[in-house]
Structure 1
Amino acid sequence: MSRDPNCLFCKIVHGEIPSARVLETDRAIVILDVNPVARGHVLVVPRDHHPQLRDLPDELAAHAGSLLPRLTRAVVAATGADGSNLIVNSGRVAGQTIDHCHWHVIPRFENDPVDWPWPHEAYAGDEMGRMASQITRELGGDADG
């Protein structure tokens, strides 16, 4: 298991810092966020240390992803929420404050104070096609792949 001795989440995973765990597997833990957006806000934290989503091995991402539907159903039912957000902040510019990849499951309520949606801007001209080509090239294949 990879670990960063200075990482807050690694310390939580290894029991050095207390947490309110709601689910544990051999690959991840799920804890209540100590500073929640809304009561019931949980974090899915892989046991292995990987700073950002792009650093996460596909198999570990798949495992964490497999927990999300059941976890979201439980959070919504337990809180009586009207919906939920699933968020991964990857990198400081995206709002990541702890350099250990993790998912947020946040219960949402009608008329809650969370400001959503983010602003959007349409692609102009052939920008969309160029961007799709660049991403496909980085993926190392074609779009059918």
Structure 2
Amino acid sequence: MGTEPMIVRVPDWEKRLNEVVERHIDLPSQFGVSDCWIIPADAFEAITGEKLYRGIRYKTEAGAARQLRKRGFETVEDAFRARLPEIGRLSARRGDLGVIERDGAISGGVVTNIGFVTRGEGSVLILPITEIKTAFRVGD
């Protein structure tokens, strides 16, 4: 059995999640500021009040990859899977994390009331839930 504490959603998680999404819509696409790791990590913290992983900081795509590898992960999907239970992708609900695969690259995001929110090349992408490759439950 794992020793990870149970993940619980804070009472005002929906308001906090909406604030994260609104903030990222206004931010530039930039590694370490608003990207396919930072958006779901910020969402996780808003929903649970705790960090998904501590001390992940980078400014480039190579730096992001180094931070993942340093923790034993190749992709954000691996990092999510190590911390969260995998669920059926179409069972994902608001606040759950997920990944999509586009052009061979894995991108993380979060399920919201407007769709799956992730970061594209130049802006936030809001995609249908059906585009999620793998989903992970956040809290109960």
Query: TM-score normalized by structure 1?
Result: 0.26
Query: TM-score normalized by structure 2?
Result: 0.26
Larger of the two Rg values belongs to structure: 1
